[in-house]
């Protein structure tokens, strides 16, 4: 048992040290002020979202804690670290992100891909397609559609699981990299702000990804962190994992 305590102490030290990276400092200061996720035994953790979350996962694989089912993006890094740091807790971690999804498409599959899994911790990252697909002309939804759909989805979730721990990640974009040009602004900012407001409204932990990616550009240009302005590079996925893991420390 003292082993267990040392173990947990060691893990917390890792997380604390991580916050020392200077260009992560501002974002992690925000994280430090926030509530933290409580990981009790048998906690079910579900990641939901679009292609950034999906990250090439095997959608025929329905297992939890399975590498192919995690894909190879930020979820893979977070899940591996959580399973490494909390070996005795019998966590069950799922990734159910699907490429291209907007909020209404999460809603369409919410019974199967969320409620039936009975998540204790639910992380959602969605919004970039709700905006992007309007620029490319494939989608007619507005910022109000995004807000309404998102609030409806979360109300539906909280009704079923009043004590669920929510994580809402900010949709981000890296300006000047490939897909992300002037046409995105200022309209895209409204989606970021809406996600923040909704996170506050639902008392969720908010992952300030735009700030994280903005600060990362103090170290290297945007294209180092994302190939197309939207999807993270391996280094970008590690930034995201670091930001998320700050919510799981302490």
Element containing residue 165 per DSSP (H, E): strand 165-169
Q: Choose which of 42, 56, 108, 185 interacts with a copy of itself (CB under 8 A).
A: 56
How many residues sit in the footprint of a copy of itself (CB under 8 A)?
47
Q: How far is the CB of 73 from a copy of itself (least distance, A)?
A: 7
d(C-alpha 88, C-alpha 86), whole Å: 6
User: Taking CB under 8 A as the rule, does residue 134 contact a copy of itself?
Assistant: no
d(C-alpha 87, C-alpha 36), whole Å: 19
User: Taking CB under 8 A as the rule, does residue 10 contact a copy of itself?
Assistant: yes
Q: Are 229 and 219 in contact (CB under 8 A)?
A: no
Altogether, the residues listed in the chain come to a count of 250
Q: How far is the CB of 211 from a copy of itself (least distance, A)?
A: 16
User: Taking CB under 8 A as the rule, does residue 41 contact a copy of itself?
Assistant: no
Q: How far is the CB of 237 from a copy of itself (least distance, A)?
A: 6
Tokens of 175: 């300006």
d(C-alpha 213, C-alpha 223), whole Å: 11
The residue among 23 and 110 lying less far from a copy of itself, judged by its C-beta, is 23
Closest CA to 122 of 158, 156, 164: 164
- Options 133-141, 169-177, 198-206, 233-241: segment touching a copy of itself (CB under 8 A): 233-241
Q: How many CA atoms lie within 13 A of 25 on its CB side?
A: 6
Phi, psi (degrees; rounded to nearest 5) at 119: -70, 140
The residue among 153 and 239 lying less far from a copy of itself, judged by its C-beta, is 239
Q: How far is the CB of 13 from a copy of itself (least distance, A)?
A: 4
User: Taking CB under 8 A as the rule, does residue 16 contact a copy of itself?
Assistant: yes
Q: Which residues in 189-228 contact a copy of itself (CB under 8 A)?
A: 216, 218-220, 224
Q: How far is the CB of 132 from a copy of itself (least distance, A)?
A: 20
Q: How far is the CB of 10 from a copy of itself (least distance, A)?
A: 3
Q: Which residues in 59-98 contact a copy of itself (CB under 8 A)?
A: 65-68, 70-73, 76-77, 79-81, 83-84, 87-88
∠184-188-192 over CA atoms, to 5°?
Answer: 150
d(C-alpha 97, C-alpha 86), whole Å: 23
Q: What is the DSSP string of 120-139?
A: SEEEEE--HHHHHHHHTTS-
Element containing residue 32 per DSSP (H, E): helix 25-33
The residue among 40 and 187 lying less far from a copy of itself, judged by its C-beta, is 40
- In the complex, the residues that contact a copy of itself under the rule CB under 8 A are 3, 6-7, 9-11, 13-14, 16-18, 20-23, 55-56, 65-68, 70-73, 76-77, 79-81, 83-84, 87-88, 216, 218-220, 224, 233-235, 237-239, 241-242
């Amino acid at each position: 048992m003292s082993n267990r305590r040392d173990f947990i102490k060691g893990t917390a030290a890792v997380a604390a040290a991580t916050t020392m990276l200077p260009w992560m400092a501002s974002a992690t200061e925000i994280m430090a002020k926030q509530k933290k996720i409580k990981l009790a035994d048998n906690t079910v953790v579900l990641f939901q979202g679009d292609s950034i979350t999906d990250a090439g996962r095997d959608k025929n694989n329905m297992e939890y804690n399975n590498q192919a089912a995690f894909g190879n993006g930020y979820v893979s890094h977070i899940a591996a670290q959580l399973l490494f740091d909390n070996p005795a807790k019998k966590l069950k971690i799922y990734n159910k992100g699907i490429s291209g999804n907007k909020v209404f498409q999460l809603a369409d599959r919410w019974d199967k891909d969320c409620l039936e899994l009975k998540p204790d911790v639910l992380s959602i990252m969605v919004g970039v397609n709700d905006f992007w697909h309007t620029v490319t002309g494939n989608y007619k939804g507005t910022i109000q559609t995004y807000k309404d759909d998102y609030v409806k989805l979360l109300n539906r979730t909280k009704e079923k699981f009043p004590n669920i721990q929510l994580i809402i990640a900010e949709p981000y974009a890296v300006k000047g990299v490939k897909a992300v040009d002037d046409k995105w602004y200022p309209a895209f900012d409204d989606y970021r702000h809406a996600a923040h407001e909704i996170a506050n409204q639902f008392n969720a932990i908010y992952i300030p990804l735009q700030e994280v990616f903005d600060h990362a550009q103090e170290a290297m240009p945007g294209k180092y962190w994302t190939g197309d302005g939207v999807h993270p590079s391996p280094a970008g996925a590690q930034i995201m994992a670091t930001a998320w893991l700050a919510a799981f420390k302490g």
